[in-house]
Amino acid sequence: MKTLPILGLLILTLFSCQKGEVISPNNYTCNFNFEDSSQTHPRRSKYQAQIDNMTQKGGVVGVSMSVQDQDGLWLGSSGKADLYNNIDLMPCHITRVGSTVKMYTATLILKLQEEGKLNLDQKIAEHLSGDVIKRIKNAEKATIRQLLQHSSGIYNYIQSAQFQTASINNLIKEWHAEDLLQYAYDKPAYFEPEVDIRYSNTNYILLGLLIEKIEGKALYQVFEEKIFQPLNLKYTSFAGKNPVPSNIIRGYIDLYSNLQVIESTYYSGWDYYTADGGLISNPYDMTVFFKALMAGKIIKTASLQAMLSWRVPKEQDPEFYPIQYGLGIFRMETPRGLAYFHSGDAIGYYANMLYFPEDGTTVVYAVNSNYGKIDHAVSTKNAMEKIILVTKK
Amino acid sequence: MSKFLGICFSFLPLLILGQGNKLIPINLSFFNEATAIPFTQAFSTPIHPGLQIGTEFNLKSKPTARLFQTANLSYFYHHRLNHGISVFSELGYEQRLKSGPAFSALFGLGYLHTFATAEEFSFQDGQYLNKNDRGNARLLASLAFDVGFYLKKDQPNSPKIFLRYQSWLEYPYSPGFIPLMTHTNLHVGTQFFLTKKNLQQ
């Protein structure tokens, strides 16, 4: 019987708490090589107070924000990039911005159409074959446009309880498109294509495969060549090239909704290689992209009009603004006015990019913590409203 | 946390010794824990190791079947997420064949206390501080099926080896995000008998 306490001690010795990773502050060094108007912007104090409120009262670990309006560009940050190494967050730091990539993916598809390599009204099955078409309901019938607009009815793999438990079971697994699509195999479609609108990450995984098939290159290369390099987005990359860059800010999750966070930097492995997530950037680069897109500098006017052709889903989230779906972009009426936007989540990260066409303002914010109580300060309707109202003149 | 585990590990000998001079069945198993939807897969990787020790007593018994109650102490370590210690009891039914094989079904309820495996930072006075993890209280409910084999098939107190598939629910899990979590444990274990004299040595 004396063996029992020894057994207990052995267990404790074997499985003691893992310490954080020691990272030199130099690792996070970054800077912008341009003059911004952050120090002279007339609403700089309001903006800074808003993000300080998110970190000091809302429990957000770190937030960086960019506001580009008629008075210039304001860049700011609050909180920590790395709690274990006590690194302050800076606006130039790179972070994971999840599904905001869908706007970039849609832009890429529209560029490929402009190059004559595809047509939005072609069926995806004209380009792809095998299990991804045969075993995903509606994949044989859906067009590229329907995938872009989430009107394909194709099942969202993220909704699969088997996927959710499997991803938690192996938090550092790196998932490729085929691994993820298996969770959509043989699942009933939500509706016949074109009948309704329902958000599905599976649509954008298929679009990523389409881009790779047409271009004959890895997705990250196509993003680099067609979007990042032409716009000089120095702080933007697709995770497929380097899933966890050494200078990426640490992510944190409030899993048990008690504002006790653990690090989750390496837990977004389902978000690295597919076109439904996987973007690494910062609010400044995202602002450059969104502004250029809306100004017609990346795709032609006709393509932009196609992107901004809206459809309304039959069911709306009662806890959020009613939204309309474009191609890789959403539209909503807010108390600040009409907004085009896309937000994105990864494990421990959240970002949101908004453009207000009535006054041409772009607002982008990114945080390195989510779930639990933190979401109330970051991604709920109330949280978003506070952030966007502060940017109103 | 060490104090908490110490209390838990000291509980089991008391439970066993409380059974007087009878032969005391001891169930000892090693298992692989997984977050998974029950009955969708038997074995998963990576291996999240666990250890369970317990005893049981018969409520009703016949030569080929019995209804029994268990008392268990269990520990698992889920890499990069959490580790937990649980105290739980199961109501079990076993059907035993004369040639040695036995089949059981067990339904259990208990208490689970989990701790983060990574350092935890707590939000206090507007900032995050590194703080000792006091863990999280959980309820667990389990349903298990096992296949066993009695090594001395003619003896009622024969040692047994078993393979057990246990599915269990952890509640609450992540309020507002994942209300409850389903787990599976695949056990490889043995049942053997001790007397009070053995236990006191």
Closest-CA distance, A259 to chain B, in angstroms, reads 6
Average pLDDT for runs of 10 along chain A of length 393: 53 62 93 88 97 98 97 97 97 97 98 98 97 97 98 97 96 96 98 98 98 97 98 96 96 94 94 95 98 98 98 96 98 97 97 97 98 96 96 90
Residues of chain A with Cβ-Cβ distance to B15 below 8 Å are none
**pLDDT given for residue B55 in this prediction:** 97
Count CB atoms within 10 A of the CB of residue A7: 15
**pLDDT given for residue A372 in this prediction:** 94
**pLDDT given for residue B200 in this prediction:** 55
Answer yes or no: is pLDDT of B2 > 90.
no
Answer yes or no: is pLDDT of B9 > 90.
no
Q: Do B118 and A20 touch (CB under 8 A)?
A: yes
Closest-CA distance, A13 to chain B, in angstroms, reads 10
- Domain ranges across chain B: 2-17+24-37+56-200
Among the partner-chain residues A55, A161, A267, the one whose CB lies closest to the CB of B37 is A161
Among the partner-chain residues A14, A20, A59, the one whose CB lies closest to the CB of B123 is A59
Among the partner-chain residues A56, A161, A262, the one whose CB lies closest to the CB of B118 is A262
CATH of domain B2-17+24-37+56-200: 2.40.160.20
Residues 64-123 (B) with a CB less than 8 A from some CB of A: 75, 77-81, 83, 115-123
CATH superfamily, region A94-283+309-351 = DD-peptidase/beta-lactamase superfamily (3.40.710.10)
Residues of chain A with Cβ-Cβ distance to B78 below 8 Å are 169
